[in-house]
Amino acid sequence: MKDNIHPTFEPVTINCACGNTLQTYSTAGKDFSVEICSSCHPYFTGKQKLVDTAGRIERFQKRYAKVNEENEKKKATKNATAQ
């Protein structure tokens, strides 16, 4: 292997928004901040946390309600013409 071409492998600290800190090594050479770590992520903790960003759930429910209303109208029209 060639000398002096590889980045340095330095210890860094990862800080989570929940307050947890992790010590690891990285070639970036700076400390990191993350929003979710293994101690607060729902997959690892078993707790269900719903993170709704920008009202996506409400938009989905509104769109689904609109489609559901259209399907009910089609069924009602189809049943009225069949009788």
**56 and 40, same structural domain?**
no
CATH number reported for the structural domain that contains residue 6 in this entry: 4.10.80.400
pTM: 0.46
Position 48 scores a pLDDT of 67
**9 and 43, same structural domain?**
yes
Rounded to 5 degrees, φ, ψ at 24 are: -150, -170
**5 and 43, same structural domain?**
yes
**56 and 41, same structural domain?**
no
**43 and 12, same structural domain?**
yes
pLDDT digits 0-9 by tens, 29-65 = 889 888 888 788 776 676 765 666 677 778 888 888 8
Q: Across the chain, what does the average pLDDT equal?
A: 81
Q: What is the mean pLDDT of residues 15-30?
A: 89
Q: pLDDT band for 12, please (50, 70, 90 cuts).
A: very high
Antiparallel, parallel or unpaired: β 21-26 and 32-34? unpaired
Domain, as residue range, for 74: 52-83
**57 and 75, same structural domain?**
yes
